[in-house]
Structures are given as structure tokens and as C-alpha cells.
């Protein structure tokens, strides 16, 4: 930078400094500007306060006008109520009052609006996170009757009943319509989960109109999740109903559904995995309609929105008796009502023979409860008992498989002599070998098939056993739910949908023991003629178990794990005492003896000959 440039910069800086100093306001000017700003702010505050006062005056004036016009409006409102509600106008408005009935096991809150059940709490049970079990609360449960009066459709839920008497175990509500009346009475016994409900009507035949001689009971309930595994709980939930012929049917909460019930009914129930709300008629409902709506989000804590509409006989002068059951799906708790109401069908134990097996298992289970306090140990003892009873079948199955194994060299020799193209001749030669040796090819399968009903029965038994609910064993905090040892929050497509966001240890152990058992069976039955890929397919089943059972009750996985472990031990023990060389010698000795064909073998050989002849004719 040259000398002239430096001189120019200095001059410009000096000029700018002088201009700033010259135009700088004095202290008096600065003070005047501050006073001006303060005055403006003060004016704005006064303006805001004035607007607020104006609004308050307007509100007061409006309130004064409303109060002055109240007599006129009240008369107008009363006229409108009379026009709309007719003889029930006095019940169209009122104050809501709550009354509580409770005993040792259940607490039921009632409301005067609709004279209905407002909430139900089960005292002896808690949710998975330690909260009280609430079957319904507030608007989650709506119960009442639809009727027609004054050419309008009414619902008792919209009417304010008057409480005329109440005690710790009984309450009476009444609604009047001039000379007609409707009385709702609720009575809770000292023990148990059954609530008595009575409806008494008098002189209503000309006030409440009906075309079918029946009132429509309308009941809706949002059934909320009580357990840790919402998806699993939803699979065990649904709307159940008992026909007059003692036939229980249901629609399950796996998807939204509805059903028209055109025959007489005894009761309707909204059921989740371990608890039910049941509306029971001491006579019978004439017909009904049930439905349920399942949320799209399968992780929603709402299990289902259930609804039921049933027709109740009505003449205008009636005394109708009903019951509500709010309680657990427990065989012991439901036993007093089994003969008349068949409520034990709420505990789903499978169909036909599976239910028969499980009924026996329940009795054994309850027997062990007297002596063993830990349910994990009871499952262990139960598993050992079942495996001891099935041991003869396990032994027979092993011996049959061992016979097939020692005959494998002779079967492979037949396969080498007869080409693949002559499959019929191969089969005939193999069957002849089995017949001479005295071996039944199905001998290993039949004993296993006989054990399958018990395996399937246990699949239904453990998820339905409320005794396991909240019971811990080892690392499992709840034997009725999954026993996660690792969890994550991130959603993983397909994995989270089917496997879940956790790993259940008992399920993992069950899958591992099944892989070991599959390997032992493969060693016993492997053949050179085995279909390609079949060996890998056999190992797929334990992997599928891992996916399928990861969200199931840990008590079930624990049972299958112990059962498979015992089966492996039995197999290894039998193998130690079975001499395969001696078994082969016995079979060879049988082959030298003359054998008599059974009728089944004769028919099988005749069928094979006919098939062979038919094939030869086609070739010609």
C-alpha cells in the first residue's frame, strides 16, 4: 500500500468520527426519547385494560340477561323436554350419583345415570404391571335397553334413575312415567363373582311400545389387555354365547366379525384370556346379535370392542331376573355354575378328546397343588408322570425303529438289485422282507401318533390355566406369558410381526432339545434312499417352534422342553440296553420260518399286482 492510500484511509476515518460526534444526541434528547417510549407503552396498557373491562362488562350484561330471562327459558326447556321425552321428561335431566357394592373378591361401582354398571374391579388379581384388574370403567362399558315411547327411540343409559334404597350389598333404582315405572335392582352376595340383576316393570304396556313383544338389551364393552403379550391374549379372547340347547359357540378376536343368533340364548360373554364378563338370563333370551371389532394396530392395548344385542321378553308388567358374572375363567370359581349354566366352557381346553384329556390333567394339576406350592415344580412332576405313562409307547416305537435300522443293509441290497424304474417290484420285495422278518413298517409311527393327542392337549391346557398367571419359576416371572431374556424396541419387518421384539429362553431351550432329538432320530432312520433335502426339512421344525412359541406361555415351552429332554434320556437309556446284533439275529431267524400272510397283506399284494398289470396294458 502506497503513501497516498494510507493518507486517504486516515482522512475518511477522521471524517466519519467527526460526523458521529456531531450528530450524537445529547443526554436531554435521550431522556426525552425514553419518556416518549414509556408514554406509548402506558397508553397501550390502558387500552388493553379498557378492552378487558369492556369484555367483562359484556359478559356480565349477557349473564344478567340470561338470568332475567331464566323463567322464560326454563319453561321453554321444560316444554321441549316434554315434547321430546314424553312421560320420561322428569328423567331426562338430573345429577349422576355413584354407589359401590363389594365383597371379598369383587368391587362393582354403579351409576344412577342409566342405572347401569359403571366399573368392575377384581380384588384378587393384578395386571402384568401390578395394577388392579379392571374389567370395565366408565364409558368402556355401556349397558341398557332400547325402547320406543312418544314415537321416539330411547335408551335407558340416557335416563337419570332415582336411587330409592341402598346398602353394602343391594341398591334399587327407579324411573317413573306417571303411573308406570321401571325398577332396576342389583344385589351382590357375600361371596363369589355373581351379581344378581332384577328388572321390574309395571303399567308400561301403553307407555313403552314394542312390535315383537320384546325389549332389546344393548351391551357394548371395550375389552382391554390385562397381560403382557397382547397378540397372544387376543388369540384367546372373543364373544361367547350359550344356546338354549347347552351348545356353546363363539367368535374369536383374531379378526373383526359378527353373528346373527336366531335361536334362544342362555347367556352372552365378553371374554379375554383369563377373565370374562357374562350376562345371564334366568329364563332365556329370544334371539340376539353379537359382534366384535379388532383394532388394526395389533399392539394396541385394546383387545376388542365387543357388542351384543339380545331380545328380552316384555309385556309391560314384568319381573325379569338376570345375573352378571364378572370374574376369572377358573374351573374352581366356575364350578358352582357348571351344571345349570355350563360356564366352564369359557375355559377353552380344545375340542372332543383333547378336552377330555385336559379335564383329567386339571384334576391331577389341582391334586398336586395341595402338596407343592411352586407351579414350576408342579409342571415338572406332571411332565414326569405323563412321560412315565407314555414310556411303553416310547419303548415300542424305539424297538420298531431299531428293527428298521438293522434291516437297512438288506433293504439297500434290494434297491441295488432292482432298478428305480421298477418301483413296484422294489416295494413288493421290501414288504416281503418285512413280512418274513416280522417287522411292521408302521410300528414306529403308531406309538408316536398315540402320543400326539396329549401333546396337542397340553398346547391348549397351559395358555388357559389361570393358576399359572403371575407365577414365577427360575427366570420366568409369569408362566402364563413369555419369559424374555432380551428385548428391543426397534421395529424389524417380519421379525417383530411374527417373532416379536424379545427372545424367550424356555422357547430357545425347547428348540435346542428338539434339534438334538431330531439328530438322534436321523441317526436311527437315515437311509441311502432318503429323499434329497429331507434331512434339512426335519431340522426346520425346531426352527419353526422357535418362531411360533416365542410369544406363547413360558409354561408351555417349559413343559415341551422338559418332555423332550426326558424323551432323549429315555431313548439313550433304551439304546444302551437294546442289543442290535441280537435283534438282527432274531429277525434273520424269523425270515427262515414259514410266514403266513395276513388278509391285509394279501389285499395289498393283489392291489399291487392289479396296478402292475394295468401299467403293462398301457405300455402295449
Per-domain boundaries in the chain: 40-93, 94-348, 359-481+553-590
Beta strands per DSSP E along 359-491: 484-487
Residues pairing with 559 in the sheet: none
Q: How far apart are CA 301 and CA 291, in angstroms?
A: 19
Q: Is the pLDDT of residue 613 over 70?
A: no
Cβ neighbours for 470, distance < 8 A, ≥ 6 positions apart: 126, 128, 478, 480
Which whole-number Å values give the CA distances from 455 to 297, 344, 451, in the listed order?
Answer: 32, 22, 7
Measured between alpha carbons, how far is 163 from 111 in angstroms, rounded to an integer? 10
CB atoms within 10 A of CB 468: 27
DSSP 337: G
Give yes or no for a contact between 417 and 433, defined as CB atoms under 8 angstroms apart: no
How confident is the model over 431-448, as a mean pLDDT? Answer: 66
How many angstroms separate the Cα of 524 from the Cα of each of 90, 171, 534?
A: 84, 72, 15
Cα 472 to the center of its chain, rounded Å? 21
Q: Write down the pLDDT at residue 70.
A: 47
Contact assessment for residue 291 and residue 264, using Cβ atoms and an 8 Å cutoff: no
Average pLDDT over residues 366-376: 87
The Cα–Cα gap between 219 and 36 comes to 71
Say what the pLDDT of residue 225 is: 87
Residues 6+ apart with CB under 8 A from 387: 394, 563, 566, 567, 570
Cell of 59: 359478559
Distances in whole angstroms, Cα of residue 502 to Cα of each of 177, 376, 546 = 60, 22, 12
Candidate from 14-23, 263-272, 289-298 with smallest mean pLDDT: 14-23
Q: Which helix (H) or strand (E) holds 351?
A: none
Q: Which of 311, 314, 210, 215 is nearest to 263 (CA)?
A: 311
The 10 Å CB-count burial string (b at 16+, else e) for 142-167 is bbbbebebeeeebebbebbbeeeebe
Please name the residue that has the C-alpha cell 342389583: 186
Distance CA 225, CA 231 (A): 9
Q: How many angstroms separate the CA atoms of 535 and 143, rounded?
A: 58
pLDDT digits (tens, 9 = 90+) for 454-505: 878 888 888 888 888 888 888 888 888 888 888 888 877 877 777 778 888 9
The conformation of residue 344, written as its DSSP 8-state character, comes to G
Q: Quick one: pLDDT band at residue 72, thresholds 50, 70, 90?
A: very low
Q: Look at residue 373 in the predicted model and tell me its pLDDT.
A: 85
Distance of CA 257 to the CA centre of its chain: 15
Provide the CATH number for the domain formed by 94-348 in this structure.
2.70.98.90
Over residues 511-559, the pLDDT tens digits come to 899 888 888 877 766 544 455 455 666 777 778 888 888 888 888 899 8
Give the residue from 570, 571, 562 showing the smallest Cα distance to 382: 562
Percent of the chain with pLDDT over 70: 73
Residue 338 CA neighbour count, 13 Å, CB half:
11
The pLDDT mean for the chain works out to 77
| pTM: predicted TM-score of the whole model, two decimal places | 0.73
- Number of residues in the chain: 620
pLDDT of 247 above 70: yes
Average pLDDT over residues 311-325: 86
The CA-atom distances, in angstroms, between 570 and each of 442, 574, 606 are 21, 6, 40
**Long-range Cβ contacts of 330-336 (<8 Å, 24+ apart):** 330/466, 330/467, 331/362, 331/366, 332/366, 333/192, 333/193, 336/192
Helix extents (H) in 264-374:
331-334, 338-341, 353-369
Amino acid at each position: 500500500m502506497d503513501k497516498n492510500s494510507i493518507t486517504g484511509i486516515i482522512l475518511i476515518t477522521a471524517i466519519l468520527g467527526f460526523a458521529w460526534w456531531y450528530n450524537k444526541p445529547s443526554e436531554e434528547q435521550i431522556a426525552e426519547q425514553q419518556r416518549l417510549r414509556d408514554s406509548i407503552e402506558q397508553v397501550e396498557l390502558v387500552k388493553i385494560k379498557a378492552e378487558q373491562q369492556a369484555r367483562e362488562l359484556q359478559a356480565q350484561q349477557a349473564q344478567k340477561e340470561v338470568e332475567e330471562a331464566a323463567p322464560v327459558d326454563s319453561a321453554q326447556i321444560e316444554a321441549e323436554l316434554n315434547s321430546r321425552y314424553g312421560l320420561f321428561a322428569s328423567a331426562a335431566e338430573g345429577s349422576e350419583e355413584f354407589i359401590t357394592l363389594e365383597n371379598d373378591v369383587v368391587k362393582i361401582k354403579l351409576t344412577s345415570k342409566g342405572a347401569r354398571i359403571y366399573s368392575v374391579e377384581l380384588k384378587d388379581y393384578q395386571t402384568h404391571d401390578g395394577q388392579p384388574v379392571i374389567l370395565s370403567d366408565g364409558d368402556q362399558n355401556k349397558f341398557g335397553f332400547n325402547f320406543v315411547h312418544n314415537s321416539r327411540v330411547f335408551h335407558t343409559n340416557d335416563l337419570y334413575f332415582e336411587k330409592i334404597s341402598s346398602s353394602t350389598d343391594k341398591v334399587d333404582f327407579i324411573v317413573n312415567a306417571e303411573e308406570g315405572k321401571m325398577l332396576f335392582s342389583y344385589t351382590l352376595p357375600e361371596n363369589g363373582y355373581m351379581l344378581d340383576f332384577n328388572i321390574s316393570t309395571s303399567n308400561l304396556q301403553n307407555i313403552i311400545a314394542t312390535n315383537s313383544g320384546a325389549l332389546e338389551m344393548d351391551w357394548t364393552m371395550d375389552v382391554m389387555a390385562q397381560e403382557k403379550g397382547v397378540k397372544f391374549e387376543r388369540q384367546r379372547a372373543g364373544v361367547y354365547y350359550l344356546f338354549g340347547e347347552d351348545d356353546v359357540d363363539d367368535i374369536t378376536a383374531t379378526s373383526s366379525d359378527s353373528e346373527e343368533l336366531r335361536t334362544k340364548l342362555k347367556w352372552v360373554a365378553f371374554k379375554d384370556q383369563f377373565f370374562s364378563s357374562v350376562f345371564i338370563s334366568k329364563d332365556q333370551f329370544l334371539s340376539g346379535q353379537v359382534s366384535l371389532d379388532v383394532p388394526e394396530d395389533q399392539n394396541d392395548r385394546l383387545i376388542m370392542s365387543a357388542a351384543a344385542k339380545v331380545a328380552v321378553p316384555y309385556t309391560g308388567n314384568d319381573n325379569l331376573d338376570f345375573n352378571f358374572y364378572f370374574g376369572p375363567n377358573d374351573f374352581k370359581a366356575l364350578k358352582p355354575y357348571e351344571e345349570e349354566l355350563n360356564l366352564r366352557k369359557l375355559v377353552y381346553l380344545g375340542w372332543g378328546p383333547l378336552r377330555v384329556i385336559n379335564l383329567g390333567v386339571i384334576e391331577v394339576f389341582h391334586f398336586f397343588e395341595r402338596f407343592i406350592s411352586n407351579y414350576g415344580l408342579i409342571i415338572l412332576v406332571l411332565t414326569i408322570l405323563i412321560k412315565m405313562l407314555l414310556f411303553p409307547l416310547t419303548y415300542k416305537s424305539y424297538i420298531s425303529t431299531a428293527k428298521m435300522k438293522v434291516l437297512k443293509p438288506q433293504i439297500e441290497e434290494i434297491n441295488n438289485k432292482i432298478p428305480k424304474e421298477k418301483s413296484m417290484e422294489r416295494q413288493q420285495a421290501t414288504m416281503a422282507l418285512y413280512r418274513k422278518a416280522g417287522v411292521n413298517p408302521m410300528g414306529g409311527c403308531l406309538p408316536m401318533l398315540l402320543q400326539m393327542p396329549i401333546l396337542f392337549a397340553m398346547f391348549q391346557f397351559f395358555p388357559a390355566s389361570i393358576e399359572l398367571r403371575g407365577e414365577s419359576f427360575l427366570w420366568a416371572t409369569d408362566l402364563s406369558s413369555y419369559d424374555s431374556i432380551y428385548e428391543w424396541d426397534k421395529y424389524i419387518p417380519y421379525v417383530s410381526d411374527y417373532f416379536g421384539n424379545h427372545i424367550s429362553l424356555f422357547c430357545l431351550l425347547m428348540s435346542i432339545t428338539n434339534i438334538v432329538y431330531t439328530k438322534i432320530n436321523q441317526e436311527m432312520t437315515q437311509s441311502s434312499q432318503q429323499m434329497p433335502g429331507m434331512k434339512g426339512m426335519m431340522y426346520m421344525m425346531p426352527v419353526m417352534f422357535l418362531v411360533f412359541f416365542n410369544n406363547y406361555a413360558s409354561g408351555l415351552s417349559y413343559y415341551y422342553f422338559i418332555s423332550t429332554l426326558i424323551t432323549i434320556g429315555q431313548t439313550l437309556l433304551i439304546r444302551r440296553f437294546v442289543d442290535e446284533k441280537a435283534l438282527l439275529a432274531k429277525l434273520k431267524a424269523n425270515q427262515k420260518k414259514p410266514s403266513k400272510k395276513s388278509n391285509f397283506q394279501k389285499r395289498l399284494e393283489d392291489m399291487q399286482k392289479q396296478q402292475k398289470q394295468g401299467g403293462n396294458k398301457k405300455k402295449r
